[in-house]
Amino acid sequence: MGKIVLAIGVPHAPQLVSEPETWGEIYELVTCASRVGRKPELDKETLADNKAQHRAVKESFGIMERELANSRPNALIALTDDHFDNFFLDDYPPFSIYLGDRVDGSTIWMPNRKFEYRCDSTLEKMILERSIDSGFDLSFSEEIHLEYGHLVPLSYLLPRSDIPLVPIYTNAYASPNPSPARCYKLGSFLREVVEKYTPPDYRVAIMASGGMSHYPGEPLGGEVDVAFDTKMMEWLAAGDGPRFSQLTSSEIDKSGNTEMRNWIVMLGALGNTKPVYTNYILSWMAIIGLGFVMWKDITK
């Protein structure tokens, strides 16, 4: 019987691997279809503020990187959403797991870097096969290429690429997307697989990558629903993961939190566990709420 030893929720905004001097250009791009206009909050932010935000981001990633290494996991379940890099509307999976021994990745946001990771194909297969028995019927892919949804956080959290991954995608951008309740159930199922079927003392960590509030390329581009993010951070700090399963798709989509679906999958594996670390960084130039939350020793 294995254990979930660590869980981390992190953002993957491209700004996090870009110098703050370039965030203004990214702002222009992300607001290309915006009807919101420039927020007064943005005019109050300076480059020095953005640099401080970037430093805070690196600090949070640094704390998590150390904990991840210390937790000595055999595998890292890596949850994120696809940005039409691997999947398209000809056949879009609600949830898809990768099957393979290794995976590579690259992204325009880190143009000079190539990424390569080992994958835990035994755990991948176990999750897929059990998902059929459990009525989840996960989709699977034997050919994927990791993009910034995985690579932005992994570039910080796994600098030596030395923990085998289990990549899982949740649909967040080809609506209709899976409901929060369904995402949460998938997480509960993942925990059951780890705790019931993996070998004794098998150590599994989970990373969920996404959000929080932002509206890339949408009419609300430029907006951040800080009130909703604040509420979510309160639930997270209180260990109230189950609260997220009661959210509707409309609530998370309207608040710019479609990517929280990745987190909600992870929360389904955590139940009422209280986090050991929380941080929320708000940036009006990066136009996003950046949540960092970590849980330890989930399986007692």
Partner 1 sequence: MSSYSINKILFKIKKDRKYRELFLNDFKEAIQGFPLTAEEERALEERNYPALLNLGAKAMLLLPFAGITRPKRSFVAG
Gap between the Cα atoms of 249 and 192, Å rounded: 25
Interface with partner 1 includes 89 (CB under 8 A)?
A: yes
- Helical (H) or strand (E) element with 293: strand 288-296
Mask of contacts with partner 1, 137-166, x by CB under 8 A?
A: ----------xx------------------
Determine the interface stretch with partner 1 among 60-68, 82-90, 124-132, 280-288 (rule: CB under 8 A).
Answer: 82-90
Interface with partner 1 includes 283 (CB under 8 A)?
A: no
Q: Any idea which residue has 């870097």 for tokens?
A: 113
- The minimum distance between CB 234 and partner 1, in angstroms, equals 28
Gap between the Cα atoms of 127 and 143, Å rounded: 17
Interface with partner 1 includes 56 (CB under 8 A)?
A: no
Q: Any idea which residue has 């909050």 for tokens?
A: 41
- The minimum distance between CB 174 and partner 1, in angstroms, equals 7
Q: Write the CB contacts of 51 (distance below 8 Å, at least 6 apart in sequence).
A: 20
Interface with partner 1 includes 130 (CB under 8 A)?
A: no
Interface with partner 1 includes 107 (CB under 8 A)?
A: yes
The answer to whether 26 touches 288, Cβ cutoff 8 Å, is no
- The minimum distance between CB 172 and partner 1, in angstroms, equals 9
Among 6, 7, 30, 285, binds partner 1 (CB under 8 A): 30
CB closer to partner 1, 67 vs 81: 81
Q: How far is CA 44 from CA 25, 48, 61, in A?
A: 18, 11, 26
Mask of contacts with partner 1, 195-224, x by CB under 8 A?
A: --------------------xxxxx-----
Interface with partner 1 includes 83 (CB under 8 A)?
A: yes
Residues numbered 234-253 forming contacts with partner 1, rule: CB under 8 A: none
The answer to whether 46 touches 135, Cβ cutoff 8 Å, is no
Interface with partner 1 includes 178 (CB under 8 A)?
A: no
CB closer to partner 1, 159 vs 217: 217
Q: Where are the alpha helices (DSSP H) in 198-298?
A: 226-237, 242-245, 249-254, 260-270
Q: Any idea which residue has 């956080």 for tokens?
A: 153
Provide the 8-state DSSP code for 274: P
Q: What angle do CA 158, 180, 124 make, to 5 degrees?
A: 45
Q: Could you list the residues that contact partner 1 (CB under 8 A)?
A: 14, 25-26, 28-30, 32-33, 35, 83-85, 88-89, 107-109, 147-148, 173-174, 215-219
